[in-house]
Amino acid sequence: VRLYCARMESKGVIFRQLFEPVSSTYTYLLADTETKEAVLIDPVLETVDRDLKLIDELGLKLKLAVNTHCHADHITGTGLLKKKVFGLKSAISKHSGAAADVMLSEGDRVTFGKHHLTVRETPGHTDGCVTYVTDDQSMAFTGDALLIRGCGRTDFQQGCAKRLYESVHKKIFTLPGNCLVYPAHDYKGQMVSTVDEEKKFNPRLTKSVEEFVDIMKNLNLPKPAKIDIAVPANLVCGLHDV
């Protein structure tokens, strides 16, 4: 059995990580090698055409576009994708307040071919943040709940540091240590981490909950440049029809 990094073919899964540089957002493509059914996690409006070209070249059928949460820093590609791909459905947490075809909650499955992602609710950055975990628990798409050596901010939308801390510790740090952590963003050119690494080296989440709350209270970050257009747009699938 040959093993691949970007295509876990012996597991029957095609996998690609893609990057949108303006918002530093990662989009993830997962597909079943046999049925060719594909799911796209956190697509970005500006890179919809790039993503669709790749999906077409790989011979995949995009069935579902899912978001990890209602983003404040970029406009989701979900709405535009729905206009361009017949039958495509959008999905997001039912706690997000956003509209989508499929409203997800804890334990729900996002299916592509004979594979699926399981939804783990990981609120704290927003109320509707979820982490998508592959069926073999080898990969977790953590959105802004857990970033590489960091985490999403908790000072806007429904942010709550205590809640984020509990989500990460109960829902992500309980995954296998070698489970790969794929975040929604990275600002330092890092692409992946593992649960073990973050449990050891995350400068915020290795602290006590009190220290964490204190750290998050004192970040003094500027307001996200796009929040006033991105959030209202993302509540309706990126301004486009749901």
Which residue among 35, 111, 118, 194 contacts its own copies (CB under 8 A)? 194
Q: Which stretch binds its own copies (CB under 8 A): 65-73, 94-102, 196-204, 231-239?
A: 196-204
Of its own copies, Fe ion, none, which one sits near residue 144, judging by CB under 5 to 8 A according to partner kind?
Answer: Fe ion
Of its own copies, Fe ion, none, which one sits near residue 15, judging by CB under 5 to 8 A according to partner kind?
Answer: its own copies
Interface with its own copies in residues 78-97 (CB under 8 A) = none
Look up residue 223 and give its two tokens.
């307001």
Residue 178 CB, shortest distance to its own copies, in Å, is 7
Strand pairing class (139-143; 115-121): unpaired
Look up residue 171 and give its two tokens.
């829902």
Closer CB to its own copies, residue 105 or residue 206?
206
For the beta carbon of residue 131, count every other beta carbon within 10 angstroms.
Answer: 26
Strand pairing class (61-66; 13-20): unpaired
Query: Is position 192 an interface residue for its own copies (rule: CB under 8 A)?
Result: yes
For the beta carbon of residue 135, count every other beta carbon within 10 angstroms.
Answer: 15
Look up residue 184 and give its two tokens.
């929604």
Kindly report the length of the chain: 242
Which residue among 144, 181, 198, 233 contacts Fe ion (CB under 5 A)? 144
Look up residue 228 and give its two tokens.
């006033």
Residue 154 CB, shortest distance to its own copies, in Å, is 25
Query: Is position 51 an interface residue for Fe ion (rule: CB under 5 A)?
Result: no
